[in-house]
A and B are shown apart, each in its own frame.
Chain A
Amino acid sequence: MGDLAVLLGVRFRASLNRMWRAGPGRRKRIIVMGVLGAAFLFGLFLVSCRVLRYFQSVELIGDLLAHQLLGMILLTFFSLLLFSHVISALSNLYLSRDLEFCHATPVSLEGLFLSRFSLTLADSSWMPLIFGIPVFLAYGFVYRPPLIFYWSLVHLNVAMAMIAGGLGVLITMVLVYVFPARRTRDIVMLMVLFMVGVLYVLFRMLRPERMVDPDAFFTIAHYVSSLRGPEWEFLPTHWATEVLWSQLTGGSGGRRALYTALSWTTAGVMVVINVWAAGALYFEGFSKSQEAKRKRLGGRARPGRVQKGLGRLLGRDMAACMVKELRCFLRDNTQWTQLLLLAALVVVYVFNFEALPLDKSPIRLDFLLNELAFLNLALAGFVLSAVSARFVFPSVSSEGRAYWIVRSSPMGLSRFVLGKYLTFLAPMMVLGEILTLLTDWLLEVSPFMMALSGVTMLFMVCGIVALGIGMGAMYPKFDHENIAQVATGFGGVMFMIVSALFIGLVIVLEAGPVYLLFRAQAGGIRLGPGLRLFIAASLAAVVLVNGAAVYYPLKKGIGALRNHE
């Protein structure tokens, strides 16, 4: 235990130092982030309250829906926790730079493992739990349970995080042990496949479609009983849901004690199993991960046809940078494997549009479809923003400590930034158009709406990518430990906010003209010159906003890099 206290204490001390010794600029960033975060959480609380109040107003099934929603939220959190534990266990237990030093000290293996386990637990759990707070508080606000509900909320969430953490760390240890040397490609690949599998199973367990399609059941009673139907009883989230729900509704506490005991004994067993497994697997796995790897690529080092073609078009320096970017990206397992997750995200996104029970809607179908297509533009924009936050925003920082090569070369910084921009523009354009046009095609919207969506997305992608590259250059972090962390810093959050505002502005500017055009089309009315002028002015404003979103961030980013030290 002494080792554990020392190892955790030093991390705690480092965090405190980071906080107290932060310069005024950093302190300002912390305050801005804190205010933004609090505003977001408060908004989430209000929305959750509204949803729960609405459920309460629905007779017969309102409480059942709220119960189901609680189960879904906990299940989603559990899967997120499992997901993030697997990712951070790999880095905390095997790849951190200070591990070599720690293993060389006389600290016991058990102490070292437990300290890393605790850090993984803390690193992976704080974000899902913080996002859960407003939702759970909304349940408390709407249902007015006794105080014990809040205590249960805290300790059951901790137990759930420990179970997810135990599973995640165990899976990571086994994979690193089984695969020889530093075959992170295979390990990460397997982890991604495993996680996609888990997500799919959890999603199928939830059967969310039954909540929106009462017609699928013969009678109301059938529908109600389907909502009442139990989830898998061995899931830790089921135990937490039942305890919390019985406290929220003042139900009998028949199985409350059992479920609480089950949660904590499982959490305890997970820790014991992990410590026991670590004794057998951890050091050997760590040792294997340190073995030097030699991999002869043998590919052509000379510029290929693509690079030469790009070089003729954009200049050899910029083409070399673009090809280098692509090579480094595809060879970095922590980067390219996330593309698999992205592909899964696209499939889920498109599938959701396929599965919408639109034919049961009381609104006129053609109008609804076009409205949905318009809404889809905003949603696809937000998906692109999230993807850009992970891949485009960290692109400048991805030069890392090798940035001196570009900085000391004769290539100007404007060409460097432009090269980054062009590298990401094409793939993001393809992704944006897939998200928009494929869903429009599935929705069978009018050709006009499809063309409008396609062109708007084209413009929006130019803006979003420029915001990502430009703001990434304004807030670079060349000394990062892990490139994934770059997106979660102050600059990444600012990028997400600015990008959301940009998408919102484009949608608001287009909403008026689109509504007028559809109304005219539906009513067979000819638009007067005033309205035509309004439409032209709105669309011109869209073009201007997009132009500004490309020009200013890139200019600011280049300026910031010039002054960066």
Chain B
Amino acid sequence: MIELIDLTKIYRGIRAVDGLNLRVGEGRVFGFLGPNGAGKTTTIRMMAGVLKPTSGRILIAGKDLARDPSAVKRCVGFIPDRPFVYEKLTGLEFLHFVGSLYGLADGSETERRIGRLMETFELTNWGDELVESYSHGMKQRLVMCSALLHEPRVLIVDEPMVGLDPKAARLVKNLFRGQAGKGVTVFMSTHSLEVAEEVCDEIAIIRSGKVIAQGDAASLRAQAGVDGSLERVFFTLTEEGRAVHG
């Protein structure tokens, strides 16, 4: 469903993403882990079509993002780490606006989807409020509604848990598993190893723009040659743990 081929991004001579190769199958929840500055957000922004790669290809649902961006974006839902939205629109207006951008027909089906998502994300009472009055977590939930509105086949999520309270975080975890159950591929970056272990079918660890380990939790433990928590595995693989764990 998602294929990254030799994906590279160079910023002012620095290789933020360095020849990345990944394949993620349909209906999988894929976790993308790495320390700060490893290239996670850059990769995700390239996959969402917000950033242009220096070289390499991004194939989603069999289509090349560079060749047919509109077709690819139509089947992708993107949730960025910082939920900046139009502050002067109400929540409902924003969702209708996004629906129009993704080519949803104005009608009862769109209304039904919006109503259901607002209810799922507990925003029903806030639909007529300007987004500027929302808290960070509410904005994040609104952005999730907008990403799911056109029923995408792929969800690309950057740091989904930032700013969410425990209840909302649980809701999101269930949502990702539920979406995967319906055949949606979820590609998410996260700092939270607990979330990665709990939700993801497969995890890739990235450092300096390159994947250094990939597989399920058990396979990562094997690659790192350590037992115990995923945190220990992560530190061993990224070599950051030496100072911490001694």
Question: Which B residues are in CB contact (< 8 Å) with A321?
Answer: 97, 101
B214 interfacial contact with A, CB 8 Å: no
* Given A301-B96, A407-B49, A412-B70: A402 in contact with B85 (beta carbons within 8 A): yes
Tell me, yes or no, whether A406 is within 8 Å of chain B by CB: yes
Contacts A410-B70, A565-B51 known; A301 to B92 CB distance under 8 Å? yes
Q: Which residues of A contact B146 (CB under 8 A)?
A: 405
Cβ-defined contact, A302 with B111, below 8 A: yes
Which residues between 385 and 424 of chain A lie within 8 Å of chain B, taking CB atoms?
400-402, 404-412
Chain A residue at minimal CB-CB distance from B98: A405
**Contact present for A401 and B100 (CB under 8 Å):** no
Residues in chain B near residue A316, CB distance under 8 A: 100, 103, 106
Q: Are B76 and A408 in contact, CB atoms less than 8 angstroms apart?
A: yes
Known contacts A332-B88, A401-B84, A410-B71; decide if A296 and B106 are in contact (CB<8 Å).
Answer: no
Tell which of A287-295, A355-363, A540-548 binds the partner: A287-295
* Alpha-carbon distance between A405 and B133 when the two chains are bound, in angstroms: 19
Given A303-B96, A400-B84, A402-B85, check contact A296 B129 (CB 8 Å). Answer: yes
Contact of A406 among B88, B93, B101, B130 (CB under 8 A): B101
> CB of B82 within 8 A of chain A?
yes
With a cutoff of 8 Å between Cβ atoms, the chain B residues found around residue A308 in the complex are 106
CB-CB < 8 A to A297: which residues of B? 90, 128-130
Tell whether, in the assembled complex, residue A402 and residue B52 are in contact, meaning their CB atoms are under 8 Å apart: no
Instruction: Name the one of A294, A404, A563 contacting B52, with C-beta atoms under 8 angstroms.
Output: A563
Q: Which of A292, A317, A400 is the one whose CB lies under 8 Å from B133? A: A292
- Chain B residues whose CB sits within 8 angstroms of the CB of A400 once the complex forms: 84
Q: A295-B133, A410-B71, A563-B52 are in contact. Are A324 and B102 (CB under 8 A)?
A: no
- CB-CB under 8 A from B73, the residues of chain A are 408-410
A402-B86 in contact (CB<8A): yes
Known: A408-B76, A410-B71, A565-B52. A327 touches B93 (CB 8 A): yes
Contacts of B103 in A (CB 8 A): 316-317, 410
List residues of B (65-122) whose CB comes within 8 Å of A's CBs: 69-71, 73-74, 76, 78, 80, 82, 84-86, 88-90, 92-93, 95-98, 100-103, 106, 111
In angstroms, Cα B128 to Cα A317, docked, is 22
Residues of B within 8 A of A562 (CB): 52
Chain B proximity of A411: nearest CB distance (Å)? 5
B127 contacts the other chain (CB 8 A)? yes
* Of A328, A406, A407, most B-chain CB atoms within 10 Å: A407
Contact partner, A302, options B51, B78, B96, Cβ 8 Å: B96
- Across the interface, do A324 and B86 meet the contact criterion of CB distance under 8 Å? yes
Contacts of A292 in B (CB 8 A): 133
Task: State in angstroms the CA–CA spacing of A291 and B177 once bound together.
Answer: 38
A204 on the interface (CB 8 Å rule)? no
> What is the size, in residues, of chain A's interface with B at 8 Å between Cβ atoms?
39
Establish whether residues A408 and B49, one from each chain, have CB atoms under 8 Å apart when the complex forms.
yes
Cα-based distance from A327 to B93 in the complex (angstroms): 10
**A contact residues around B82 at 8 Å (CB):** 401
Give the CA-CA distance A167 to B90 in the complex, in Å: 37
**How far is A402 from B88 in the complex, measured between Cα atoms in Å?**
11
Question: Considering the chains assembled together, what is the distance between the CA atoms of A562 and B98 in angstroms?
Answer: 20
A298 within 8 A of B: yes
How far does the Cβ of B162 sit from chain A's closest Cβ, in whole Å?
Answer: 15
What residues of B have a CB within 8 angstroms of the CB of A401 in the complex? 82, 84
CB of A320 closer than 8 Å to a CB of B: yes
- Asked if B50 lies at the interface with its beta carbon under 8 angstroms from chain A, I say yes
How many A-B residue pairs have C-beta atoms within 8 angstroms? Tell me.
106
| Separation of A460 and B233 alpha carbons in the complex (Å) | 66
Nearest neighbor of A412 in chain B, beta-carbon distance: B70
Contact of A409 among B88, B101, B133 (CB under 8 A): B101
Residue interface bits A202-235, CB-to-B below 8 A is 1, else 0: 0000000000000000000000000000000000
Whether the Cβ atoms of B133 and A298 lie closer than 8 Å is no
Q: Of the candidates B70, B78, B128, B130, which one forms a contact with A404 in the assembled complex, judged by CB atoms under 8 Å apart?
A: B78
Instruction: Please give the number of chain B residues whose Cβ is less than 8 angstroms from any Cβ of chain A in the complex.
Output: 39
Q: Does A319 interact with chain B (Cβ within 8 Å)? A: yes
Q: Which of A248-303 contact B (CB under 8 A)?
A: 292-299, 301-303
Chain B residues with CB under 8 Å of A303's CB are 96, 100, 106
A298 touches B128 (CB 8 A): yes
CB within 8 Å for A410 and B102 given contacts A294-B133, A301-B96: yes
Closest residue of chain A to B133 (Cβ to Cβ) is: A294
Per the bound structure, the CA–CA distance linking A311 and B82 in Å amounts to 30
A331 close to B (CB within 8 Å): yes
In the bound assembly, the distance between CA atoms of A563 and B53 in angstroms comes to 10
Instruction: Report whether A293 and B111 are in contact in the complex, using a CB–CB cutoff of 8 Å.
Output: no
- Which positions 520-551 of chain A face chain B at CB distance < 8 Å? none
In the complex, what residues of A have CB within 8 A of residue B95's CB?
A: 301
Tell me how far the C-beta of B63 lies from the nearest C-beta in chain A, rounded to whole angstroms: 12
* B-side contacts of A565, CB under 8 Å: 51-52
* B145 interface hit (Cβ, 8 Å): no
Cα distance, A332 to B88, chains bound together (Å): 7
- The residue that B88 contacts in the complex, of A296, A301, A328, A411, with Cβ under 8 A, is A328
Chain B residue nearest to A416 (CB atoms) is B101
Cβ–Cβ contact B90 & A408, under 8 A: no
Q: Residues 301-336 of chain A: 1 if any B CB is under 8 Å from the residue's CB, otherwise 0?
A: 111000010010000110111011001100110000
Known: A308-B106, A327-B89. A317 touches B101 (CB 8 A): yes
B48 within 8 A of A: yes
Cβ contacts under 8 Å, A327 to chain B: 88-89, 93
Closest to B95 in A: A301
A297-B128, A302-B111 as given contacts; A324 in contact with B89, CB under 8 Å: yes
Q: A301-B128, A407-B50, A409-B98 are in contact. Are A293 and B86 (CB under 8 A)?
A: no
B106 and A331 contacting across the interface, CB-CB below 8 Å:
no
Give the top 4 A-B pairs by smallest Cβ distance, nearest first.
A320-B100, A301-B92, A401-B84, A331-B88
Please, could you name 18 A-B residue pairs with CB atoms under 8 Å apart, sorted by A? A295-B133, A297-B128, A298-B128, A308-B106, A327-B89, A327-B93, A401-B82, A402-B84, A402-B86, A405-B101, A407-B48, A407-B49, A408-B50, A408-B76, A410-B102, A410-B103, A563-B52, A565-B52
- Name A's B-contacting residues (CB within 8 A): 292-299, 301-303, 308, 311, 316-317, 319-321, 323-324, 327-328, 331-332, 400-402, 404-412, 562-563, 565
Contacts beyond the supplied A302-B106, A400-B84: 13 A-B pairs with Cβ under 8 Å: A293-B132, A293-B133, A295-B129, A295-B130, A298-B128, A299-B128, A316-B106, A317-B103, A328-B86, A331-B88, A401-B84, A408-B78, A411-B70
